[in-house]
Amino acid sequence: MTLTRPTATLPEQVTLRRRRLGLTAHDPARSAGGFTLYAGQCAEGQVDLIDIEGRLAHRWQMPVRAGRDAVLLPNGNLGYNGSHATSAALYPAWDLWHGGDFYEATPAGEIVWRHEDIHHHHDAQWLPNGNLLYTVAAPLPAEKAARVTGGDPRKDGADGVIQSDIVREVNRKGETVWEWRIWEHLDPADFPVHAIFDRRHWPMINGLSETKDGLILMSLRTTSGVIAVEKATGKVAWHVGPDVVAQQHTPVEMEDGSVLVFDNGNLRTGSTSPFSRALEFTPDGRVTWSYADPMPASFFSPYMGSCQRLWNGNTLICESAYGRLFEVTRAGELVWEYVIPDFAEYPAPLNSFIIGSHNSCFRAHRYQKEQVSWL
């Protein structure tokens, strides 16, 4: 008689899938409540709105994979930053952080507006007047490129071109109504690239927002810093640098004029172990609030990430790389946590550049019930 050995079943090989997914913590008495929106980086255009219990409340299926973010607009429609199929492909990592295929979609999924820009990368903000504010890449003029310092010159592109940043605002007709070139206002020699980054993109604006006084906040990824630009004059009003922040994302003004960021912390000054934090600081660089995990290394996203101050004073944090969305009080107590349960690989050829299955999203956003009255 021949004995047949049972087929061995391997344990789940995706580490995060072996842990708890979906809703993992909820304190109804102290959470702000509401609905949370996110667009998975590998979800092939799926955008989910979940309730405070982690249940799916609504889903959009968009025509293209998320390039970056998705938000709810005041009219109830979805603003979506999709990954453009024929983006500019300026250097090897470009496809990881470009968007450039923008859509507005009704809750029923009808596309009512579209705008394309193949040089877009990272952030985009849907402004109250209906315009779209976003970053694009453009070659740094040669005389400015010669002044870029720091970084790893061994990782420079063969063509020697260094990309830089333009902030552009377009109206509903797609017409450019405002534009700001960073190299006309900052000297690269004063903003050195961190040692681990290549010099193909200086300083890589990865986050934007507009303040109530008409300043445009800009997050500088590869040099670590946040600047505020006077929209009317183009002048830099203030700069907070790497002595305060580290490879941060998502600068947003608070009611008192301070700025909240997701401080990634890949290369934090004075620390040998990377950890992320939510950080609030004044324009003169004084830290007024921060949140890090009680065991700091337990909270870390080396890329992407967001923070949102909620209506009850709590803060919603998106630990992007690991699909972990959580809410903390001003005292740093966790009152809600949700881990995105959907995993997939990046599409080819990106899956050879950033390997494995991911549940990441660029940002997450919380909305009150009145903001989703169409549900």
- The predicted pLDDT at position 4 comes to 61
Percent of the chain whose pLDDT exceeds 70: 97
- The partner residues of 168 in beta bridges, in order of sequence, read 134, 179
Edge to edge, the sheet with strand 306-309 lists: 22-26, 334-339, 324-328, 315-319, 306-309
Rounded to an integer, what distance in angstroms lies between the CA atom of residue 156 and that of residue 368?
A: 46
Give the largest Cα separation in the chain, rounded. Answer: 88
Over the stretch 201-230, which tens digit does the pLDDT of each residue have?
999 999 999 999 999 999 999 999 999 999
pLDDT band (50, 70, 90) for residue 153: confident
Say yes or no to pLDDT of 55 above 60.
Answer: yes
98, 121 Cβ separation under 8 angstroms: yes
Three-class SS of the chain? CCCCCCCCCCCCCCHHHHCCCEEEEECCCCCCCCEEEEEECCCCCEEEEECCCCCEEEEEECCCCEEEEEEECCCCCEEEEEECCCCCCCCCCHHHHCCEEEEEECCCCCEEEEEECCCEEEEEEECCCCCEEEEEEEECCHHHHCCCCECCHHHCCCCCCCEEEEEEEECCCCCEEEEEEHHHCCCHHHCCECCCCCCCECCCEEEEEECCCCEEEEEECCCCEEEEEECCCCCEEEEECCCCCCCCEEEEECCCCCEEEEECCCCCCCCCCCCCEEEEECCCCCEEEEECCCCHHHCCCCCCCEEEECCCCCEEEEEHHHCEEEEECCCCCEEEEEECCCCEECCCCHHHCCCCEECCEEEEEEECHHHHCCC
- The predicted pLDDT at position 10 comes to 83
258, 244 Cβ separation under 8 angstroms: no
CB within 8 Å of 257: residues ≥ 6 apart: 282, 283
Say yes or no to pLDDT of 3 above 80.
Answer: no
Over the stretch 157-210, which tens digit does the pLDDT of each residue have?
657 899 999 999 999 999 999 999 999 999 999 999 998 888 999 999 999 999
Say yes or no to pLDDT of 1 above 60.
Answer: no
Say yes or no to pLDDT of 353 above 90.
Answer: no
Say yes or no to pLDDT of 137 above 60.
Answer: yes
166, 136 Cβ separation under 8 angstroms: yes
Say yes or no to pLDDT of 281 above 90.
Answer: yes
**Average pLDDT, stretch 238-254?**
97
Say yes or no to pLDDT of 70 above 80.
Answer: yes
**Average pLDDT, stretch 113-118?**
98
| Choice between 80 and 96, residue whose per-residue pLDDT is larger | 80
Query: What does the block give as tokens for 198?
Result: 């290549």
Tell me the pLDDT of the chain averaged across its residues.
94
Say yes or no to pLDDT of 87 above 90.
Answer: yes
